[in-house]
Amino acid sequence: MTDDLTLKRILFIINPVSGIGKHKVVEGLTDHRLDKTRYIHEIVYTNAAGHATEISRKAAADGVDIVVAVGGDGTVNETAAGLVGTATSMAIVPAGSGNGLARHLKIPMNVKRALEIINRGKILKIDTATINNQLFVNLAGVGFDASVAKKFSEAGTRGFSTYLRITNKSYKQYEPKQYTLIIDGKVFKRRALLISFANSSQFGNNTSIDPAASINDGFIDVCIVGKMPYWKALLYAPLLFLKKFDQTRYVEIIRAKEVVLKRKKGKTIHLDGDPMIMGKELTMRINPLSLNVIVP
């Protein structure tokens, strides 16, 4: 018989309204798939925006060994926000629409296989970053993708098909904006469709603007994307899946530790796919090796 005091503690945080509804599957499989000789687990559901951060912060303070984010990139973001700088590790069971961080870390989209990764317990320290002190783990951005993120959050349906429909409908009308970037002290002025701050290589749904991005190199990649004609966007879209979009003349990538971005108006940005309103000036800073994550 195993003494409960020798078992590592795992807390599953499940977002019941995440993109593709795997939460019931996860709940049913935890008893059967987790290694009971190593772990004792508990499940809690979120009930509001920000709730996952409260739960994970308390879990870390209570000495829980692993907190599992069951949901999409937004759930991962909230969970990570409570764990940054602590000894508690975050694991991911992907259950969202894009699952960008999980895909970058090669965490299986299959629930059973994702739980097996947790059983192995391999830990990787990764970078996180903030924009105006708001955390992101995978990707943040301004411009077109932030506008799409806002419309996607209001769409009423989830999934890649909804995201694609919104992107396609919005592209023709969206006008590039003028930005001033101060990147590690050097000034850049750019007119751009979007500017993404990439901590990982994944834009979500297995697409990539910056396939060379590393999640533990101490840098964020600033991806500046210009607008191309609509017909060319359709032609180049497959390059996002082929991880070759960065080779086009419409993409400029600059590695950075600190960025100040200035724009004419305070508007929507997105942090790990979740939209929010911020002011005209944004400050991005990297937090090197600040989060423990369970990986394959």
d(CA 58, CA 294): 19
Q: Are 204 and 88 found together in one domain?
A: no
In sequence order, the 6+-apart residues with CB closer than 8 A to the CB of 146 are 194, 267, 268, 269, 270, 275
Q: Are 283 and 140 found together in one domain?
A: yes
Q: Are 105 and 138 found together in one domain?
A: no
Which residues make beta-bridge pairs with 277? Answer: 268
CATH number of the domain within which 230 lies: 2.60.200.40
* 294 within some domain: no
Which residue, among 110, 113, 167, 117, has the nearest Cα to 143 in the 3D structure? 167
Last residue in a domain, options 69, 99, 121: 121
Q: DSSP per residue over 108-177, as a string?
A: -SSHHHHHHHHHHT-EEEEEEEEETTEEESSEEEEEHHHHHHHHHHTSS--SHHHHHHHHHHHHTTPPPE
Q: Which residues in 65-92 are b (16+ Cβ under 10 Å) and which e?
A: bbbbbbbbbbbbbbbbbbbbebebbbbb
d(CA 113, CA 158): 24
Name the percent of the chain lying above pLDDT 90. 61
Q: Are 144 and 282 found together in one domain?
A: yes
Q: Convert the pLDDT of each residue in 197-236 to its tens digit.
A: 999 998 877 888 898 899 999 999 999 999 999 999 889 9
263 CB-side CA count, 13 A: 22
In sequence order, the 6+-apart residues with CB closer than 8 A to the CB of 47 are none
Give the residue numbers spanning the domain of 22. 4-121
Q: Are 145 and 267 found together in one domain?
A: yes
Residue 140 one-letter amino acid? A
What's the pLDDT at 2? Answer: 46
What's the pLDDT at 252? Answer: 96
- Is a pLDDT exceeding 90 seen at residue 47? no
CATH number of the domain within which 112 lies: 3.40.50.10330
Last residue in a domain, options 121, 143, 160: 121
Last residue in a domain, options 77, 96, 121: 121
3-state secondary structure of 24: helix
Q: Are 99 and 149 found together in one domain?
A: no
Q: Are 160 and 84 found together in one domain?
A: no
* 281 within some domain: yes
Question: Across all residues in the chain, what is the average pLDDT?
Answer: 90
pLDDT bracket for residue 1 (50, 70, 90): very low
- Is a pLDDT exceeding 60 seen at residue 251? yes
Q: Are 74 and 101 in contact (CB under 8 A)?
A: no
Q: Are 142 and 102 found together in one domain?
A: no
Q: Are 171 and 268 found together in one domain?
A: yes
* 293 within some domain: no
* 142 within some domain: yes
Q: Are 247 and 176 found together in one domain?
A: yes
Q: Are 26 and 161 found together in one domain?
A: no
Q: What is the pTM of this model?
A: 0.89
* 126 within some domain: no
Domain total for the chain? 2
What's the pLDDT at 36? Answer: 87
d(CA 81, CA 271): 12
Q: What is the mean pLDDT of residues 31-52?
A: 89
> Bigger pLDDT: 160 or 215?
215
Q: DSSP per residue over 44-103, as a string?
A: EE--STTHHHHHHHHHHHTT-SEEEEEESHHHHHHHHHTTTTSSPEEEEEE-SSS-HHHH
